[in-house]
Amino acid sequence: MTERAVEILRAILFHTPKNPFRESHPLVGFEDGALAIEHGRIVRCGDYAEVSSAYPAAAVRDLRGRFILPGFVDTHVHYPQVRILGGLGLTLLDWLEELALPEEARLADANYAATIAREFVGALAAHGTTTALIFGSHFAAATTALFETAAKRGLRVASGLVLSDRMLRPELHRSPDAAHRDSCELIARYHNRGRLHYAVMPRFAVSASEAMLEVCGSLLCAHPGVRFTTHINEHPEEVDKAARLFPWAKDYLAIYERYGLVGERSVLAHNIHASEDEIRRLGAWRASIAHCPTSNAALGSGIFPMGRHVAAGVRCALGTDVGGGTGFGIMKEALAAYLMQRVAPQPMILAPATMLYLATRAGAEALGMEDEIGDFTAGKSADFVILDPPAGGALEVRLKRAGTLDQVLAALFTLAGAESVREVRVEGDVVFEREPLSGPSRWPGPSRLRASS
Ligand code: GUN
Ligand code: ZN
């Protein structure tokens, strides 16, 4: 009887339940695949014939010729920066002063913040991002607007009040006491409310006094399960500034370590200019890095030493870093990671499976959500993206020639933009729909793909 509640989606399916940096054969792909979901959970993922015979009474949605991937996870993105995308030609500190901080100050106006929150959350969903660790605003009301808008849309979000008490501009500064009070209120209101989670987030060490970092540490101690995020080792000028402000610290990471801010629930953005010892300690802490390749290139910050991080066992995931980055697409970010690692001083080739892992399960692991999301293992939440390449576009043309599932996935990561995202679901709920998928199937006929090597 319960089978009637089961929905089967028939499509080309990919997911990466294994970590490609540690295990072989990480890619699971089904050319004629099916995802069976019930009450927002995945009950089965596999070949259509096998899944449909397990649930013969289930409603089947025929999406053959289209693609289903796990929902994308963006581990570093700034909500107040949606309107300053495309500010090219500046380096980090000038970009902050000239573009980012003036715009962030505008969110003091709660009406403006509500508009920005809608634009931002809409853009995340439209790009297939189902879960995000979001840098909030320096203003509590604006941060509230983000949580409320994300809840309304149904996205899975960790965010919080951005904490700074120096070096920015006066209207963005809060005293450590006020920061503590506002953060406690927001935690009480939003942490673990439905799909919302709280993260403590000093902007970076440069804009946080020792007293503010102490507040961050005490918030984390008092509220287990709350995440931590900030920036680290992004640009040489910023690293120098941090060293001058914290002369006792042997390196950048030591500043955050001193206040108990580094651990399994910490996601540190960038870490480009890191010493070997910092990378080793990050691995020992089981902390994660949000790698933001388009931002790193656009702001001239540098090339992320991914190989050194992977060798030290540091967990890496992807962030768009809107608006330092170049857009909301996590698939584009995965492609940029591939491109930059290809030309890194110690180059590495990211296989299509690794790109998919970075875009999905790696983010889930960074956020401690790997038991809930990140792949299509039965029991997990039904968070997924349906991709439908526009008819006649370069991607569709390319896919006609793809000979293996690996080639299909590589083509998707190379060519699929927001225009290919047709439907996005979180826990089975539709959070974005481009237009109802009612057209004729583009199923190309019997199998033409070889099994991936
Ligand atoms: N460091 C401190 N603030 C920011 C920011 O908004 N963007 C980036 N990329 N780096 C930062
Ligand atoms: Zn950032």
Q: 146-165: per-residue pLDDT in tens?
A: 999 999 999 999 999 999 99
Q: How far apart are CA 406 and CA 399, in angstroms?
A: 11
**How far does residue 313's CA lie from ligand 2's centre (Å)?**
23
Tell which wins on pLDDT, 450 or 95.
Answer: 95
3-state SS, residue 104: helix
List Cβ neighbours of 259 (8 Å cut-off, separation of 6 or more). 210, 213, 214, 216, 217
Of all ligands present, the nearest one to the C-alpha of 320 is 2
User: What is the Cα–Cα distance from 265 to 73, expressed in whole angstroms?
Assistant: 15
- Whether residue 393 is predicted with pLDDT greater than 90 in this model: the reply is yes
Joined together, the tokens standing for residue 86 give 């495309």
Check if 321 has its Cβ closer than 6 Å to any atom of ligand 1: yes
53-98: per-residue pLDDT in tens?
A: 999 999 999 999 999 999 999 999 999 999 999 999 999 999 999 9
User: How far apart are the two ends of the chain, measured CA to CA in Å?
Assistant: 40
State both tokens at 349: 């080739």
Residues 6+ apart with CB under 8 A from 130: 71, 72, 73, 155, 156, 373, 383, 384, 385, 424, 425, 426, 431
pLDDT at 2 over 70: no
Is the beta carbon of 231 within 6 A of some atom in ligand 1? yes
Q: What is the pLDDT of residue 453?
A: 45
Q: Give the per-residue pLDDT at 422.
A: 97
Q: Is the CB of 295 under 6 A from ligand 1?
A: yes
Best residue among 74, 78, 120, 137 to mutate for probing ligand 1's pocket (most ligand atoms within 8 Å of CB) is: 78
Find out whether 216 and 198 touch, Cβ atoms under 8 Å.
no
Residue 341 — pLDDT band, cuts 50, 70, 90?
Answer: very high
pTM: 0.97
- State pLDDT tens for residues 25-47: 999 999 999 999 999 999 999 99
Would you call the peptide bond into 323 cis, given omega within 30 degrees of 0 as the criterion? yes
**pLDDT of residue 451 exceeding 80:** no
Q: Which atom of ligand 1 is nearest to the CA of 234?
A: 10
- Report which secondary-structure segment, H or E, holds 421: strand 421-426
Q: Please provide the DSSP assignment of 350-364 as one string.
A: --HHHHHHHHTHHHH
Nearest CA to ligand 1 atom 3: 203
Question: For the domain 3-70+375-433, what is the CATH code?
Answer: 2.30.40.10
Q: What confidence tier does 257 reach under pLDDT thresholds 50, 70, 90? A: very high
Cα(134) to ligand 2 centroid in Å equals: 9
- Looking at the CA of 104, name the nearest ligand: 1
pLDDT tens column, 183-225: 999 999 999 999 999 999 999 999 999 999 999 999 999 999 9
Q: Is the Cβ atom of 78 under 6 angstroms away from ligand 1?
A: yes
Q: What fold is seen in the domain 72-366?
A: TIM Barrel (3.20.20)
Q: Residue 169, exposed/middle/buried by CB under 10 A (0-12, 13-18, 19+)?
A: middle
Segment (H or E) for 93:
helix 92-95
Q: Average per-residue pLDDT in the chain? A: 96
Find all residues with CB under 8 Å of 100, minimum gap 6, and list them. 78, 81, 84, 323, 324
- Residue 126 binned pLDDT confidence (cut-offs 50, 70, 90): very high
- State how far the Cα of 20 lies from the Cα of 31, in Å rounded to an integer: 21
Do 74 and 451 contact (CB within 8 A), yes or no? no
Query: 153 phi and psi, to 5 degrees?
Result: -75, -30
Q: Judge whether 51 and 45 are in contact, CB under 8 Å.
A: yes
Hunting for tokens 């287990």 — which residue is that?
224
**How far apart, in whole angstroms, are the C-alpha atoms of residue 273 and residue 258?**
20
> What's the CA-to-centroid distance between 39 and ligand 1, angstroms?
39
Under the banding of pLDDT at 50, 70 and 90, the label for residue 447 is: confident
Q: Is the pLDDT of residue 3 over 80?
A: no
Quote the CA–CA distance of 85 and 327 in Å, as a whole number.
7
Category of 128 on φ-ψ map: left (φ > 0), alpha (ψ -120 to 50) or beta: left
In terms of phi and psi (left: phi > 0; alpha: psi -120 to 50; beta: otherwise), the region of 43 is alpha
Ligand 1 pocket member 203 (CB < 6 A): yes
Mutate to test the pocket of ligand 1, among 98, 204, 239 (most ligand atoms within 8 A of CB): 204
Residue 449: pLDDT band by 50, 70, 90 thresholds? Answer: confident
Q: Does any ligand 1 atom lie closer than 6 A to the CB of residue 204? A: yes
Please state the φ and ψ torsions of residue 318, each to the nearest 5 degrees: -110, 145
The ligand 1 atom at the shortest distance from the C-alpha of residue 100 is: 6
Ion ligand 2 nearby residues (CB, 5 A): 321
**CA angle in degrees (0–180, nearest 5) for 358-362-363:** 100
Residue 100 Cβ inside 6 Å of ligand 1? The answer reads yes
The number of the ligand nearest the C-alpha atom of 204 reads 1
CA of 298 to the centre of ligand 2 (A): 12
Model confidence pLDDT, tens digit, residues 405-446: 999 999 999 999 999 999 999 999 999 999 765 555 565 666
Q: How many Å lie between the centroid of ligand 2 and the Cα of residue 231?
A: 6
The percent of residues above 70 in pLDDT, for the chain, comes to 96
Structure tokens at 405: 């599932």
For residues 132 and 443, give the distance between their C-alpha atoms in angstroms, rounded to a whole number: 33
- CA–centroid distance, 289 to ligand 1, in Å, is 14
Give the Å distance between the CA of 288 and the centre of ligand 2: 14
- pLDDT the model gives residue 435: 78
208 CA to middle of ligand 1, Å? 13
Give 80 Cα–ligand 1 centroid separation in angstroms: 12
- 295 Cα to the center of ligand 1, angstroms: 10
Nearest CA among 99, 69, 83, 85 for reference residue 9: 69
235: phi then psi, degrees, rounded to nearest 5: -140, 145
Q: Residue 254: left (phi > 0), alpha (psi -120 to 50), or beta? A: alpha
Q: Each residue of 87-98: pLDDT tens digit?
A: 999 999 999 999
Q: Answer whether 66 contacts ligand 1 (Cβ < 6 A).
A: no
Q: What is the pLDDT of residue 1?
A: 46
Q: Which ligand is nearest to the CA of 294?
A: 1
Is the C-alpha dihedral spanning 122, 128, 132, 135 positive or negative? negative
Residue 377 has pLDDT above 90, yes or no: yes
Cβ within 8 Å of residue 185, ≥6 positions away: 140
Going from N- to C-terminal start, the domains of the chain cover: 3-70+375-433, 72-366
